[in-house]
Amino acid sequence: MNKKQLFEQIRVKKSFLCVGLDPVLENLPEHLLDLEDPVFEFNKQLIDATQDLCVAYKPNTAFYESRGLKGWKSLEQTWAYIPKDIFTIADAKRGDIGNTSAMYADAFFKEEQSGLGFDAVTVAPYMGKDSVSPFLNYADKWVILLALTSNAGHSDFQLTESENGKLYEEVIRSSSGWADSEQLMYVVGATRGSEFANIRRLAPDHFLLVPGVGAQGGSLKDVCEFGLNDHCGLLVNSSRGIIYAGKGTDFAEKARAEALKLQQEMESILTEAGLL
Amino acid sequence: MNKKQLFEQIRVKKSFLCVGLDPVLENLPEHLLDLEDPVFEFNKQLIDATQDLCVAYKPNTAFYESRGLKGWKSLEQTWAYIPKDIFTIADAKRGDIGNTSAMYADAFFKEEQSGLGFDAVTVAPYMGKDSVSPFLNYADKWVILLALTSNAGHSDFQLTESENGKLYEEVIRSSSGWADSEQLMYVVGATRGSEFANIRRLAPDHFLLVPGVGAQGGSLKDVCEFGLNDHCGLLVNSSRGIIYAGKGTDFAEKARAEALKLQQEMESILTEAGLL
C-alpha cells in the first residue's frame, strides 16, 4: 500500500487507528482455549469486529514466536485473514547486516516464499543504513524505524546528546536520506507528547507509528496536537486497551466498543483539522 | 551453559570456534534439494562433520524466517540436533519493551513452550535496559548485546561521540551494570581489530562474539592479539567460509577441512597464551 492509498483509507474510515494483535494465551477468553488454534480464533473475531474502525493491524511477532511453530502458524493465518485494504505491520524490530536484512525482508514481505506479505516492518536502527536498505527494495512496502520509544529504557541511549543532537534526532536525520516518506515511517512513543513538535520539524511528511496510547499511558490529544500533518501522518496503535476489553464470550463486542471510542475521537480530530 | 562450563569446553576442544548455520536454499548442494527438508539435512551433516572442532553453533534466524513456517521448522530441528554440550546462539537481534522482550526470551529459551532452548540470543541495545533484562531471568542463559558490528552501517550511529564517548562504548559501559560477565556477552565485529584493545578495557571479563572472520574480512590473529583474556573470552564465528567450502556431495568434508584449519590456528593461539 502506498502513502496516498493509506491516507485515502484514513479518510474513508475516518480513523487512523492501528490495532495491536498481541495475544497472550493465558489472557484469552476461556471459551476459546479448547479450539485448535485459540490465538487465531481470537484474532479472527477481533478483526471481524474492528475492521471498519481501523486502518491498520499490527501483530507483534514476539507474541507468536514465543509459542514456536504453532505461534508462527497463527501469525501466518492472522495475516492472511486481514482484508487487503487494511495496512499490515509486522512489529518485528528486526535489523542485521545487509544480506541478512534482505532475508528478513523476504520473511515479512515476500508472500510467495514465506507465506507473509505485510505492508510494513518495524526495524531497529543500531546497525545503520545497510540494515535498513534491503527492506526498501520492495515497492510500496515500508520500513518503520525505531526513533523514540515509549518504554523506560528509551532514555538509556535514545536521548544521548552528540554534536548531532540527541541520538533519536540523528536517527531521523540520517535515515531520512536513505528513503523518503513514501517508504519510511518512524516509531514515536505516545508518552513523549512534548517531543512530537520536535520530531515533526525533523520529519514533516513522514507517517509516525505511535504505540503507547492507552495501557502505556499516552494521550491521543497530545499526540495529535503536535503530530498531525496535512495527510494525517499518524497511525496510533492500541493493543491491550482493545483486545482485552472483555474476557467473556462477548470479548469481540467489547473490543469493538473500545475501538469505536477511539475511532470517534479520531474522527472529530480529523474533522477539526479539515482532513475529511 | 555457564561461563565456567563454556571455558571448559574451549579447553577440551582446543577451539573457540562458532559455526554460523546460515543456509540459503539456492546455495545448497544440489543433491540435497529433493529431500523433504534440505536445510535441516544440510545443517545436520555440517554438525556431524564439525562438532568436535567447534564450541558453538549460531543459526541466524533470518535465514529460517525467510522461508516461513518451513524455515521455523528447520530451525527447531537444527537446534534439537545440536549436542547439548555445545553452546547454541540464536542470532536473532531482538529487543523490545519489557513485556515483549519477555516473550522473545520465551521464544528462544523456554523449550517446553516454544520448542527452542538456546543458550544465548543476540539483542539490539537501542531500546535500553528493559529491552534486555527479561532475557536475564533465565539462569545460565545469555544475552549477547550488539556493541560494535562489522557491517558498513556500523559507522552511522555506533561511533557517534557524546560526553560518554562513542555510542558503542556507552552501550558497553551502561549494560555492564545490568548484568555481569556470567550472562552478558558483546558482539564485536572482527573487521574492527584495532578497537579490540579499547573494548577489552571496558569489558575485561566478558566473552565477545566475533562475527566477520573470513568472508567479512577480519583476521583471527588481530582479534586474538587484543581480545583474548584469561578465560579465552572469545567466540569467533565463521559461516560462509565453512558451510559453503564445497558444493558437491562432499560439502561436509570440505566444511570440516575449513573448520579444522581454524581450530588448529586457535589451538596454537590458546597454547601460546597458556590457556590449555
Distance CA B143, CA B160 (A): 24
B98 HSE (CA, 13 A, CB side)? 10
Of B76, B125, B132, the CB nearest to A126: B125
Is A163 in the B-facing interface, judged by CB distances under 8 Å?
yes
Is A160 in the B-facing interface, judged by CB distances under 8 Å?
yes
Distance CA B68, CA A108 (A): 9
Per-residue pLDDT of chain A (276 residues; tens, 9 = 90+): 999 999 999 999 999 999 999 999 999 999 999 999 999 999 999 999 999 999 999 999 999 999 999 999 999 999 999 999 999 999 999 999 999 999 999 999 999 999 999 999 999 999 999 999 999 999 999 999 999 998 999 999 999 999 989 999 999 999 999 999 999 999 998 766 678 889 999 999 999 999 977 655 568 888 898 899 999 999 999 999 999 999 999 999 999 999 999 999 999 999 999 999
Going from N- to C-terminal start, the domains of chain B cover: 3-272
Residue A154 is given by DSSP the state: H
A 83-112 residues with CB < 8 A to B: 93-98, 100-101, 103-104, 106-107, 110
What are the chain A neighbours of B113 within 8 Å (beta carbons)? 66-68
Q: Which of B44, B70, B73, B93 is catalytic?
A: B93
- Phi then psi for residue B222, to 5 deg, are -60, -45
Q: Do A157 and B170 touch (CB under 8 A)?
A: yes
> Which residues of chain B are modeled with pLDDT < 50?
none
Q: Do B68 and A107 touch (CB under 8 A)?
A: yes
Give the three cell numbers for residue A256.
Answer: 469493538
The architecture CATH gives domain B3-272: Alpha-Beta Barrel (3.20)
Is B257 in the A-facing interface, judged by CB distances under 8 Å?
no
Longest dimension (CA), chain B: 57
What are the chain B neighbours of A96 within 8 Å (beta carbons)? 60, 62, 93
Distance CA A231, CA A159 (A): 28
Longest dimension (CA), chain A: 57
- pLDDT, tens only, B164-185: 899 999 999 999 999 999 999 9
Of A65, A116, A158, the CB nearest to B104: A65
Measured between CA atoms, the residue of chain B closest to residue A63 is B103
Looking at the complex, report in whole angstroms how far the Cα of residue A73 sits from the nearest Cα belonging to chain B: 7
Measured between CA atoms, the residue of chain B closest to residue A130 is B153
Q: What is the per-residue pLDDT for A222?
A: 84
Distance CA A162, CA A170 (A): 9
Contact indicator for B44, B82 with CB cutoff of 8 Å: no
Of B103, B115, B154, the CB nearest to A127: B154
Distance CA B247, CA B36 (A): 19
**ipTM for the predicted complex:** 0.96
Residues 6+ apart with CB under 8 A from B264: none
Residue A268 burial (10 A CB sphere; 0-12, 13-18, 19+): exposed
- pLDDT, tens only, B177-220: 999 999 999 999 876 667 888 999 999 999 999 987 765 556 88
Is B146 in the A-facing interface, judged by CB distances under 8 Å?
yes
CATH 3.20.20.70 fits A3-168+181-272, yes or no: yes
CB atoms within 10 A of CB A54: 27
Q: What is the per-residue pLDDT for B115?
A: 97
Residue B192 burial (10 A CB sphere; 0-12, 13-18, 19+): buried
State the distance between the two ends of chain B, measured CA to CA, in whole angstroms.
Answer: 20
Distance CA A20, CA A216 (A): 13
Give the three cell numbers for residue A219.
Answer: 494521550
